[in-house]
Each structure stands twice: as structure tokens, then as C-alpha cells.
Structure 1
């Protein structure tokens, strides 16, 4: 469920907000909704990587690869598809680390209920 929440909210906010909203949304989602730390990282990573990859492929195909190939040339990459993979990796790492940070902040401030000790 966190994956879908991150994906949809980030997709909507990317229309009007700057690129770094990909870090804010996973952080807030995992600050509010609990989960394991590894699950938080991989969910944030996958949601943002899929979003950026899908939008990158959309732009790539509507321009017949002209735009992504030219930008790839600026970075000395062989073609636009490699550029899309690199941008998905960078976005995924940003989202994953933000989600992990949100989970760890939650763990820091929201303590677990005390366990009863039986004698």
C-alpha cells in the first residue's frame, strides 16, 4: 500500500512541485505509516524508480528518442536508454533513503509499548 501511496502522490506533486518532492513524500509516508527498515528502503526505491522510469520512457517514445539521446550525449552516455536507467537509479536511491530516514525517525520518536515482565 505504501508503494501505491508514494507513487500516486509523487506523480501528482511532480506536476507542480520541484524534483526533490521525491524525497519528501516517501519520508512523510514512512513517518506516518510503520514498516520495517528494509521494507521502507525498497518500497521508496521502487516507487520513485518506477515513476521516473515510466515518465522517462514516455518522454523518450513521444520524441522518438531525440531528446534523451541528446541529453545522453551531454553526459557522454552511449544512448538515451542508459540515461533513463541512470536517472531511475538516482531517483530510486533518493526515494529509498528518504523512506528509510522517515522510518528511522519514526522509530526514534515513537516508542514501542513496554513489554510486561513476568516473574
Structure 2
């Protein structure tokens, strides 16, 4: 009789330990997921703040062009951006500049090039 009582108590204790271990595992998993979701939330907030970051200024546009040996002859403001005209030695320099402008947050809307002597003349519409 005592043996049966002890076996029942051991079984209850065993099931209790199993339940306790399951609860510990679930709590650890939930806290790990919560921490991971908090990191993703922080990254999302950082990404949102980057979208509204500083707009490319006219001075920065001129400096960027000068650093790539691009001569800007005319920059006139338009409704949503600038109409930029200038000349460049080769098309690779212009393409590199356009990519750099995109990285800085500007959006080239339309552009064209034509040969003028040894240089290429370009016409660009860009939105900062």
C-alpha cells in the first residue's frame, strides 16, 4: 500500500518536473523571440528615419560633381528638383556620378548626352 502511494507520488513528481521543464523552455523561447522582434522593430524605426534624412543640397551636388571632374555649366531649379547641364570627359564618370547621387538620396529623372568636341555634354533632371 505504501509502495503504491510512493509510486503515485513519484509519478506526480515526474509529471510536475516535465511540466516545469516545458514551461521553462517555452518562457526561454518566448523571451528570445521577443528580443529578436525588438531588434527588428529597432531596425525598422532606423530605416524609417533614414528615409526622411537630409535632402541633397545644391552645394553638395556641386561638390560631388567637382570631385568626379564633372563641369556643371548650368543648374536651374524646377518644380521638383533641378535641371543640370554640364560636360564630362567620359560617360563612365557621368554614370558613376549618377550612381553616387542615388546613394546620397537623389533621384535622376531624365538625362541625355551628346558629343561636343573631346568632351560629352549632358543634360540631367534630378530630384533631391
Fold shared, TM-score > 0.5 on shorter chain: no
Higher helix share: 1
Higher relative contact order (CA 8 A, sep 6+): 1
Please give the TM-score of this superposition, normalised by the length of structure 1. Answer: 0.30
Structure number, greater radius of gyration: 2
Higher strand share: 2
